[in-house]
Amino acid sequence: TAPRQPDYLSRLNPEQRAAVETVDGPLLVLAGAGTGKTRVLTTRFAHILMTRRAYPNQVLAVTFTNKAAREMRERVAGILGQPAEGLWLGTFHALCARMLRRHAEYVGLSSNFSILDTDDQMRLLKQVMEAAGIDMKRWPPQGMMALIQRWKDRGLTPARVTPAEDSDYANNRARAIYAAYQERLKALNACDFGDLLLHMTEILRTQEAVLAQYHRMFRYILVDEYQDTNLVQYLWLRLLAQRPDPAERNICCVGDDDQSIYSWRGAEIENILRFEKDFPGATIVRLEANYRSTAPILAAASGLIAKNSGRLGKTLRPGRNDAKGEKVRVVSLWDSEEEARMVGSRIEAARRGGHNLSEVAILVRAGFQTRAFEERMITLGVPYRVIGGLKFYERAEIRDAMAYLRVLNQPADDLAFERIVNTPKRGLGDTSLRAMHELARSEGKPLIVAAWRLIETGALRPKPRQALRELLEGFARWREMLPREGHVVVAGTLLDESGYTDMWKQDKSPEAPGRLENLKELLRALGEFESLAGFLEHVALVMENDENAEGERVSLMTLHAAKGLEFDTVFLPGWEEGLFPHQRALDEGGEKGLEEERRLAYVGITRARRHCIISHAANRRIYANWTSAIPSRFLDELPPDQVEVEGGAGAARARMMSQPSAFPDQFPLVARKPRVIEAGAWEVAERPARAAAIPVGTRVFHNKFGYGRVVAADENKLDVEFEKAGRKRVLDTFVEKA
Ligand code: ATP
Ligand code: MG
């Protein structure tokens, strides 16, 4: 009789098994979402160890995130039946950092080198540029930093930057600045993030003995999410994989060209084609059965991605036998608040129905979108976590902006003043700040008063003195504007005039545009409140609400952060032109940018196992105004027979309504029509319509403040005694009868 097959192999289909058992020689698994690429890689890892082909420390395994590395470690341990120790398993950066500690001397560092964060990098680069006499007004250092990062992504040390690769930045001095920056880093025994790969690749390129050592050591190389590697990562992999004996080049990469979504960070899809060239005779395995999603979800995703050109071409078919399932839902809503309510009420219904909240995810295109959903979760008491990023009100730019608003509201708020007095940089050194603190303490006055005093005493150098004066005069002016202009306009003015917005506009890091969007979103949130004080109080309550309880939680994250993950239920909100596809991607990337956005949509849909709910709002608030939004073109590209449209005529309705003339500016909340969605496991009725007037004594529910009872009412305002938040005056359109 045939020998019994190990359990872990019996959980694979024949193609997957072939990919696992073809352990020797180069192998490329090219397959669509949910076909088990990661499962193959993990099983292959375990298989190599189980069949004693290598010791645990002789396998190099690369994952895209630290979280994925943890998961793979656990799964390998699960198959082995014991904890897996001493593995070379992690992200490119983590692996390179570990290697570089052993060979730092080859690039002029010692093994205890430090890794700089982005702030330190920037400071260093500015010093270098200043020393070189570069006019930084004309040539912002952020541009130079971006250039350096691009070079590093492509494996170019200063010596390898050829004239053809050079840039005319700062009158052809970019390469010289780059070289000087690298020298400074070396002098400080430090490197930046990009250096980890750059240095290691350079060492492997130039130090034969080191390379030979790794060739002996790493018998097997495994790479997940291969489609998103950049050039330097590819070079590093190729160096390590090209062992002297071609028969021993055991590298296995798994990827999906349709899920390449990081070109903005230098990822190159061409690496898939390079692989076949650099490893001739490589085995190519294609997996076609998708085990993750139901048939309609799969068909919807496939139909959408078929609109892209230049694909490598793959087939995807349902691999689950229970794969019938419900169609992808497309829900049209009035505005983003209604969208957040829709998502919230469905999640609540699911929770009541016993669904595990850890199996629910909300995937957004842009970070700022999490705010509306976070607030909804808080109101409903649904625990959530933000994966791959911070909660909205914890983000640095939001904390900064909030500090500005707090000083505006209450000049004696020392903590807030301290945070912003030198953000953006106003040239106040430690000595000046200490002097300010001492003055405040000795006179028992708030910092802001001490700051005025400091200006008057002439203790500051002219430049910081002028900058501080402008800030303090600014606050006086903005406060004075408040009653006239209203808190939203003043907040916007303040952020602009204080130089805060500019600080991020100057920043050329890939995160900067997202931070600016977050700031806009903050102003939108502010617009939902009648006063600055009311808003600040609200945020304080939101922040307090944040318990660290373990347990089931809804996951919120960007589509980029969702790669490789899966959930029973996936919400995909904000499918509107300009937001998704994102305007920036279209402006900067043209047709290519659009295709990358479409891949992002494909990634989003294919995260769902059973329920996929796409939504879009017909209106978005910008500042205090409303603009109408056009449904995303991706909605039209979904195969109609896989989709169930909810909310009247759905996209068509929203499109019709999105004629600007159809909306008076103040439109949205008041005129909302009640809408009942047919009952079913996943549908719930919306709250009933609010009656015209809410009499005194009525128990009500308010989006922000929760439950309370009306104690007084006039034309359109109510005084409500809230159970948690105390007595508040609120617009009646913001409450519903409870
Ligand atoms: P992505 O492209 O999104 O990263 P993937 O190709 O890496 O997807 P996996 O995450 O490995 O796919 O697998 C998707 C799901 O299908 C997982 O839940 C996995 O456990 C399951 N799965 C994979 N192969 C099989 C199989 N042969 N039988 C049953 N379930 C499977
Ligand atoms: Mg995967």
Q: Does the pLDDT of residue 26 top 70, yes or no?
A: yes
Tell me the mean pLDDT in the region 175-198: 94
* pLDDT digit string, tens, across residues 362-401: 999 999 999 999 999 988 889 999 988 888 998 999 999 9
Q: How is residue 282 annotated by DSSP?
A: -
Q: Which of 16, 17, 38 to mutate to test ligand 1, by most ligand atoms within 8 A of the CB atom? A: 38
pLDDT in the model for residue 106: 96
- Ligand 2 centroid–CA 518 distance in Å is 30
Q: Does the pLDDT of residue 577 top 90, yes or no?
A: yes
pLDDT in the model for residue 201: 97
CA–CA separation, 210 and 302 (whole Å): 45
| Candidate list 38, 121, 182, 233, residue with the active-site label | 38
Tell me the mean pLDDT in the region 49-54: 92
Domains and CATH numbers, the chain: 7-98+198-287 (3.40.50.300), 114-188 (1.10.10.160), 296-390+553-662 (3.40.50.300), 394-535 (1.10.486.10), 699-737 (no CATH)
**pTM for the full predicted model:** 0.83
Q: Does the pLDDT of residue 5 top 60, yes or no?
A: yes
- Ligand 1 centroid–CA 342 distance in Å is 30
Q: Which amino acid is at 73?
A: R
Q: Does the pLDDT of residue 6 top 80, yes or no?
A: no
Average pLDDT, the chain: 86
| Candidate list 15, 16, 37, 400, residue with the active-site label | 37
Q: Does the pLDDT of residue 733 top 80, yes or no?
A: no
Residue located nearest, by CA, to atom 31 of ligand 1 = 291
| Candidate list 238, 376, 391, 607, residue with the active-site label | 607
Q: Does the pLDDT of residue 88 top 80, yes or no?
A: yes
CA–CA separation, 320 and 327 (whole Å): 16
Tell me the mean pLDDT in the region 27-35: 95
Residue located nearest, by CA, to atom 27 of ligand 1 = 12
* pLDDT digit string, tens, across residues 205-215: 999 999 999 99
From residue 332, alpha-carbon distances to 339, 573, 660, 665, 689 in Å are: 8, 10, 17, 20, 18
Count other C-beta atoms under 10 Å from residue 136's C-beta.
16
- pLDDT band with cut points at 50, 70 and 90 for residue 343: very high
Instruction: State yes or no: is 370 an active-site residue.
Output: no
Ligand 1 atom at shortest distance from the alpha carbon of 291:
16
Instruction: State yes or no: is 1 an active-site residue.
Output: no
pLDDT in the model for residue 716: 63
Instruction: State yes or no: is 351 an active-site residue.
Output: no
Sign of CA dihedral 226, 264, 388, 629: negative
**Largest alpha-carbon pair distance within the chain?**
96
Contacts of 371 (CB under 8 A, 6+ apart): 392, 521, 525
Where is mean pLDDT largest: 170-179, 189-198, 271-280? Answer: 189-198
| Candidate list 153, 225, 359, 521, residue with the active-site label | 225
- pLDDT band with cut points at 50, 70 and 90 for residue 86: confident
Which pair of structure tokens corresponds to residue 684?
């719930």
Binding residues: 31-38
Yes or no: say if 474 and 426 are a contact pair by the CB < 8 Å rule: no
Instruction: State yes or no: is 137 an active-site residue.
Output: no
CA–CA separation, 464 and 482 (whole Å): 27
Ligand nearest to the CA of 321: 1
Q: What's the distance, CA 90 to chain centroid? A: 20
Ligand 1 atom at shortest distance from the alpha carbon of 11:
27
| Candidate list 224, 517, 577, 595, residue with the active-site label | 224
pLDDT in the model for residue 91: 92
Residue located nearest, by CA, to atom 11 of ligand 1 = 36
Residue located nearest, by CA, to atom 2 of ligand 1 = 33
- Ligand 1 centroid–CA 474 distance in Å is 57
Which pair of structure tokens corresponds to residue 548?
């660290």
- pLDDT band with cut points at 50, 70 and 90 for residue 703: low
pLDDT in the model for residue 210: 97
Residues with CB under 6 A from ligand 1: 11-13, 16, 33-39, 256, 259, 291-292, 564, 566, 606
pLDDT in the model for residue 684: 27
- Ligand 1 centroid–CA 437 distance in Å is 58
- pLDDT band with cut points at 50, 70 and 90 for residue 473: very high
CA–CA separation, 735 and 738 (whole Å): 9
Instruction: State yes or no: is 470 an active-site residue.
Output: no
* pLDDT digit string, tens, across residues 10-21: 899 999 999 999
CA–CA separation, 562 and 572 (whole Å): 12
Q: Does the pLDDT of residue 312 top 90, yes or no?
A: no
The dihedrals phi and psi of 131, each to the nearest 5 degrees, come to -60, -30
| Candidate list 259, 294, 370, 501, residue with the active-site label | 259
683 burial (CB, 10 Å; 0-12 / 13-18 / 19+) is: middle
Residue 324 or residue 306, greater confidence: 306
- Ligand 1 centroid–CA 321 distance in Å is 14
- Ligand 2 centroid–CA 34 distance in Å is 7
Ligand nearest to the CA of 604: 1
CA–CA separation, 279 and 409 (whole Å): 64
So what's the ipTM on this one? Answer: 0.99
Instruction: State yes or no: is 607 an active-site residue.
Output: yes
Question: Mapping DSSP to helix (H, G, I), strand (E, B) and coil, where does residue 482 land?
Answer: helix
Q: Which of 67, 291, 314, 603 to mutate to test ligand 1, by most ligand atoms within 8 A of the CB atom? A: 291
Ligand nearest to the CA of 10: 1
Q: Does the pLDDT of residue 667 top 70, yes or no?
A: no
Question: Mapping DSSP to helix (H, G, I), strand (E, B) and coil, where does residue 30 land?
Answer: strand
- pLDDT band with cut points at 50, 70 and 90 for residue 693: low
Ligand 1 atom at shortest distance from the alpha carbon of 40:
11
Yes or no: say if 142 and 169 are a contact pair by the CB < 8 Å rule: no
Residue located nearest, by CA, to atom 21 of ligand 1 = 291
Ligand 1 atom at shortest distance from the alpha carbon of 225:
4
* pLDDT digit string, tens, across residues 111-163: 999 988 877 888 899 999 999 999 988 888 888 998 999 999 999 999 999 88
Binding residues for ATP: 31-38
Ligand nearest to the CA of 291: 1
CA–CA separation, 270 and 397 (whole Å): 36
- pLDDT band with cut points at 50, 70 and 90 for residue 167: confident
Ligand nearest to the CA of 562: 1
- Ligand 2 centroid–CA 225 distance in Å is 7
Question: DSSP string covering 375-419, please?
Answer: HHHHHHT--EEETTS--GGGSHHHHHHHHHHHHHH-TT-HHHHHH
Tell me the mean pLDDT in the region 561-589: 93
- Ligand 2 centroid–CA 37 distance in Å is 5
Q: What's the distance, CA 312 to chain centroid? A: 27
Ligand 1 atom at shortest distance from the alpha carbon of 607:
3
pLDDT in the model for residue 550: 66
Residue 103 or residue 123, greater confidence: 103
Q: Does the pLDDT of residue 723 top 70, yes or no?
A: yes
Which pair of structure tokens corresponds to residue 511?
């995160």
pLDDT in the model for residue 460: 85
Ligand 1 atom at shortest distance from the alpha carbon of 256:
2
Q: Which amino acid is at 504?
A: W
Tell me the mean pLDDT in the region 65-88: 86
Residue 705 or residue 471, greater confidence: 471
Q: Which of 222, 287, 292, 599 to mutate to test ligand 1, by most ligand atoms within 8 A of the CB atom? A: 292
The dihedrals phi and psi of 712, each to the nearest 5 degrees, come to -155, 155
